[in-house]
Structure 1
């Protein structure tokens, strides 16, 4: 019996963003096909402690993630991802922060590849926190970026992120801003990665053709997107039960009548559908589901467990 423990750096060295995107895409398709047993995550202290589980029936493998979350510390996410299987006694323990940012970025990469215009190359990223770099890496993996605008109320933090990403994006024009309302005006893709409790911009600020990813609001008290944008867009979500339990902007839009439950399409269903989704504005809203962590953990298990 062997237990392999991986640090954040070791997770990042082992898994590329392209690998994570491919694994998470397959996971969403499997989720839609009923391949997973995945209870809604346990939430304590209003989202500061989370426990998530996923069991993949066909492989007899399971993942459990336990973490604490505090945006006032660095890193904001701390905890462990534990991988176990029925066919062998070896286990793997990985840093939850690295797995979480990778899998969240990967989900955005999957959704952006499905929903964003094929020629999109201008990204506005709102929020320069711990999730932000992998948001950019994931979008860039599926839509090579010509321009990137990093937006944060703390311009110094936006500038620091821009400097960090510059060597990875040598052909991309990078700029910074502190006002989301004006920064989204010429965007082809928008990524929202903030702990906001009210919309970051108005729907009128956006172009007529744009894809928006929203990852930051993961509790009913949080919102990043306005009702008008949701009413005017094709809305794709990660998983219905999780969204209706935790997504503040979706719950708000349902309450006001801007959305109906019937207008929400799960990402796995959209990936499996034969017909193309409509153009115009598209939104991907995710609160994160355990299958994504399982998908990244499976890559690690395949590489490190004999």
Structure 2
């Protein structure tokens, strides 16, 4: 057996496999009532590097708690992207047999065993897109919450907080439209729009115009079918719906819809079905994988 540290280590879980990269957008909005001394750094990456907490635990779960941490921070030479790894640790307990030498008897004991998982992530400064290679144990909503909480805690640690950070799933519009066309009836749809940062795009109208006129930070619209058998009609042709979807596609909101397919209820929840990209077979080198993920995100940014 070799005594060289690191030799004969198992390959990463993603090696020689295709993968799924979960996509989110990191948004920063001014606090409703900031301190007079609050100042938001002009450049997104400067602000991100200042507040995104590495090495600080973030606990999720009630019964089976997981302690998440970010590590392995690297900033690219162009200073427009940040690499890292996100992972969790949990201690599991199990019954075991133990022989007591002094009393010459077998005893029942409880042993603790640490289990963990980690994956690479990349944040592209130009698009503010966060990409996380999805480990089988990672729930998309949990990943978003961990990053969001770490950013908000880092902001609160500044001398004067200026910003409300959020990590929001990007709507895969084609995925939603495919779901919409696959159901027999849509019984209910809830669409939420949040104040964009910093500017609105033309396709956000008329939702954005209405938010501007009413000085709203958030707009929520709910439609329920008058007849559950017939369902809501012509949603794809509705200008208001298209504007909400455009905001969801840019991670400035989300959509939740309930429908019927045959005899079964079905739900579409953007927060649990964030847009993603699929990779080809991945190498075993962490930095090479991060480079692939960044290239994928930047290709999306140029589209």
TM-score, scaled to structure 2: 0.28
Larger radius of gyration: 2
Higher relative contact order (CA 8 A, sep 6+): 2
